[in-house]
Structure 1
C-alpha cells in the first residue's frame, strides 16, 4: 500500500505547479540542488532555508505549508507575525521547541536559521489542546509579570498568524527585532501601526511598540511550573503583604 505523502511535500509540489516551474527550474530558483523530485516524493525534508525562500520570493505562509493554517500567503499589510520556521519530529509531528532565557537573547537574530533551531530542546504533548496548531515554549525572565508569572517559569504560546487576530488584554510572547518579551498586548484605537505592551507588575510602565517591529507573536495559554508552594508559605506571604500594607497606611496617616 502506498504511503501518504507528507502535507508539506504535497503543498510544495502544488506551489511549483501553480508557478509553472519544472522540478529543475524550481530547484534552481530556490538554489537547493539539481531537482525538487525527492522533496515532492517525501524522501527529502523541506529545510528552513527552503521555507525562508518560499516566504521571501512568494509570500508563502509556513503554517499553511505544514497544514497548520488555511491562509496560503502572508499578507504583509495585515501585520504578519507567524512563525518563520516550524520543526517536525521523525514521526511527522510538529515539535514544541523550548527557548530558555539564554537562547531568547539570540532568538531574534536566528529566527530564519533552521540549524540554530535544531540546537534547542524539543518535545511533544499528546493532548488534544496541542493539536492542529504551532506551539513554542519560552522561559520567563524578570519579575514584570508577577504575580501571574514568576521568574524562570515556562510559558507555552500558540502561534498567531496576524496581528489582526491578537486579542486585547491577553498575554503574549512578543518577538521583537532585538528581544523577546512576555507581556499583555493592547491595541491602540485609531492607530493600527502601534500596540501597547503592558506588564502585570505595576512597577513597570507600559511601552508602545511598532507593529512592524514584531517578528513573531505567540498567545500564552498555559505554563509549566516546577515547584509547588507550601500552603503555609502562601499564608505567610499574604500575612507579610498585609502587614506591609498596614505599615504604609500608618506612615501615610502621619504625613
Structure 2
C-alpha cells in the first residue's frame, strides 16, 4: 500500500503543481509540504518525512475534492467526482449461475460459506466455488439456497434447515409478515419475518419467530441492504410428530355422540 506522502505527491502531480503552489492552495507553507513529501534533512545525511496532520489532510480533501479513501489507502480512485455512486439496492443479483442448457442454477450458501459470501457476493469467481444445482420447479426468477443458522426462527425453521429464496427485485415489494433472507453490510445473512416500512421511514423491521426473549425485534436502514430473498420453500431435518387426523376426528365424533346421549337422557328425565 502506498504511503500517504506518496498519495499527496500523486495529487500534486495530478494537478500539475509544484510543492510551493500546492502549499498556497491549502494554506500552509512550502516547507511544510516539502517535509511531508521529501522529508527534512538529518545530521546523518538522511531525510525524515513528516506525517501530515488532520488540518493539512482536511484542506487537501476540501480544496482538491479528493476522495478520503484514496488518501488512506482504501481506494485507488483519487477524486470524489470519479467515485462510482453505488446504488443502495440492485434490481438483480450481482452474480447468477447458469447450467449448460442456459437455465439458472440455485446457488447453495452453507453456514461455513457465509463469511465468504458476504465478502464476495459480487465476485463471479467466488460464487463459482459454491455448490449449485437445478430445481426444475423453481423457475421464473433467481433463487438461492441458504442453510439456516441458529434458533431465532424456531417454531418455523430450525438450525440446519435449508430455505430457498427468490431474489426480490424491488424492496418496495416486500410484504409484511413474510419470511425473507436479508443480506446486509452490518448484520450479515439473517432469516427474519419482515415488516416493510420503506415508504414511511426507509427502514425494514426484522422479527424472529422464536419468542423466548433472546431475539428482539430490530430495524435496518435500506441503505445497508445488499440482497433480499423471499423464502418460497424449505427443507427440514426436523420431522414432525405423526398426527392421525382421522383418529382425532373419530374421537371428536364419539364425544359429540356421547354428549347428545347425555342431553337426551336429561330431557327424558
Distance 1:189 1:210 in 2: 9
Q: Please list every run of 5 or more consecutive structure 2 residues that lacks an aligned counterpart in the other structure.
A: 1-82, 244-269
What CA distance in whole angstroms lies between the structure 1 residues aligned with 2:240 and 2:225? 35
1:147 to 155, 176, 181: 155
Matched, 1:225 2:236: yes
Partner of 1:123: 133
For 2:150 and 2:201, the matched residues in 1 are separated by 29
Deviation at 1:225, TM superposition (A): 1.9
Q: Which residue among 191, 202, 207 is the counterpart of 1:193?
A: 202
Asked whether the equivalents of residues 109 and 177 of structure 1 are also in contact (C-alpha less than 8 Å), the reply is no
Q: Deviations over 1:121-158 (max 9, x none)?
A: 1111122xx11211110011000001100111000000
Tell me, in whole angstroms, the C-alpha distance in 1 between the residues paired with 2:206 and 2:111: 19
User: If you compute each CA radius of gyration, which structure gives the higher value, 1 or 2?
Assistant: 2
Alpha carbon RMSD of aligned pairs, Å? 2.3
d(CA) in 1 for partners of 2:172, 2:231: 16
Q: How does 1:163-202 map to 2 (within 5 A)?
A: 163-178=171-186, 179-188=188-197, 191-202=200-211
- Out of 126, 134, 141, which is 1:133 matched to? 141
Q: 1:228 to 1:213 in 2, by over 3 A?
A: same
1:189 Cα offset (Å) = 7.2
Verify the 8 A CA contact 2:198 2:222 in the aligned structure 1: no
Count of matched residue positions in the alignment of Structure 1 and Structure 2: 158
Q: Does structure 2 conserve the Cα–Cα contact (< 8 Å) formed by 1:185 and 1:196? A: yes
- In structure 1, the gaps of 5 or more residues are 1-55, 60-75, 233-255
User: Given the alignment of the two structures, is residue 215 of structure 1 paired with residue 226 of structure 2, yes or no?
Assistant: yes
How far apart are residue 104 of structure 1 and its match? Answer: 1.4
Contact 1:86-1:94 within 8 A present in 2 as well:
yes
SS for the counterpart of 1:167 is coil
Higher relative contact order (Cα pairs below 8 Å, separated by 6+ residues):
1
Q: What TM-score comes out, normalization by structure 2 length?
A: 0.54
Q: Contact conserved, 1:81 with 1:216, CA < 8 A, in 2?
A: no
Aligned to 1:206: 217
Question: 1 CA distance for matches of 2:105 and 2:199?
Answer: 38
